[in-house]
């Protein structure tokens, strides 16, 4: 089971690495900027989570597979964009849609993995805290990325993002920790909830109310 959970985490890291790299390239950052932005997107939320629960040094400094995956995917994305730069620039709307799907998958996986980490470290009875850990694991890296790119973080301005993570996190906590459903089934359900909300929000342009 631990190997399965690790594999799911690596898939989430790969998804967020692609998302971070594409966001950095849209801002015309060089290869180092793309690398830093991508790794921050993929691992930043996990670092914040680990600091909150006292898991020091953060897991990215303990399990090198996380950092290696983030760096490798980031560099691969940059190289493909560099080689196919004309096609890349001509097809940015399509790439953005694909990136949105990848990002939605990463958000779902990171949210449930953040909650799992909180439960594993003995905070399972504190529902608010473990759901918050899932939320911060899911959105924390993206907030740091947007701050580095000098843009208003996506979770504060566009579509249903953090809300999808929060809703899916509560779903996962209830069906797994409270009701006791099998962990893999719980993960699949929660990830599908988050993924579906994100995609529907993008397709139908759902936004939270603004003052003006």
pLDDT band at 3; cut points 50, 70, 90: confident
Question: In this structure, is residue 211 part of a structural domain?
Answer: no
Mean pLDDT for the chain overall: 91
Spatial separation of the C-alpha atoms in residues 78 and 182, rounded to whole Å = 39
Question: In this structure, is residue 50 part of a structural domain?
Answer: yes
Q: What is the signed CA dihedral for 74, 77, 78, 81, rounded to 10 degrees? A: -170
Instruction: Report the run of H or E that residue 118 belongs to, with start and end.
Output: helix 92-118
pLDDT of residue 8: 87
What is the number of H-type helices and E-type strands within the chain?
9, 0
Of 79, 57, 59, 54, whose CA–CA distance to 13 is shortest? 59
Question: In this structure, is residue 212 part of a structural domain?
Answer: no
pLDDT at 176 over 70: yes
Average pLDDT over residues 169-194: 96
Question: In this structure, is residue 132 part of a structural domain?
Answer: yes
Spatial separation of the C-alpha atoms in residues 69 and 157, rounded to whole Å = 30
What's the domain count of the chain?
A: 1
Question: For residues 169 and 134, is the Cβ–Cβ distance under 8 A?
Answer: yes
Neighbours of 188 (CB within 10 A): 13
pLDDT 10s digits, 68-119? 999 999 999 999 999 988 877 777 788 788 888 888 999 999 999 999 999 9
pLDDT 10s digits, 138-167? 999 999 999 999 888 877 766 688 899 999
pTM, entire model = 0.91
State the residue range of the domain holding 175.
2-204
Question: In this structure, is residue 200 part of a structural domain?
Answer: yes
pLDDT above 70 as % of the chain: 99
Question: In this structure, is residue 210 part of a structural domain?
Answer: no
């Amino acid at each position: 089971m631990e190997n399965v959970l690790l594999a799911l985490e690596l898939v989430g890291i790969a998804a967020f690495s692609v998302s971070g790299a594409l966001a950095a390239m849209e801002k015309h950052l060089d290869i180092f900027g793309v690398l830093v932005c991508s790794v921050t997107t993929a691992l930043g939320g996990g670092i914040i989570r680990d600091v909150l629960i006292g898991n020091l040094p953060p897991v990215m400094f303990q399990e090198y597979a996380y950092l290696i995956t983030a760096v490798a995917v980031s560099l691969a994305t940059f190289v493909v964009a560099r080689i196919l730069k004309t096609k890349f620039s001509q097809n940015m709307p399509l790439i953005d849609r694909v990136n949105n799907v990848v990002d939605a998958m990463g958000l779902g996986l990171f949210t449930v993995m953040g909650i799992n980490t909180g439960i594993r470290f003995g905070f399972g009875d504190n529902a608010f805290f473990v759901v918050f850990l899932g939320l911060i694991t899911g959105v924390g890296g993206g907030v740091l990325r947007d701050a580095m790119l000098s843009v208003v973080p996506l979770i504060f301005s566009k579509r249903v993002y953090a809300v999808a993570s929060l809703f899916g996190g509560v779903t996962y906590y209830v069906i797994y920790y409270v009701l006791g459903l099998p962990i893999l089934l719980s993960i699949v359900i929660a990830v599908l909830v988050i993924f579906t909300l994100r995609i529907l929000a993008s397709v139908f342009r759902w936004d939270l109310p603004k003052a003006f």
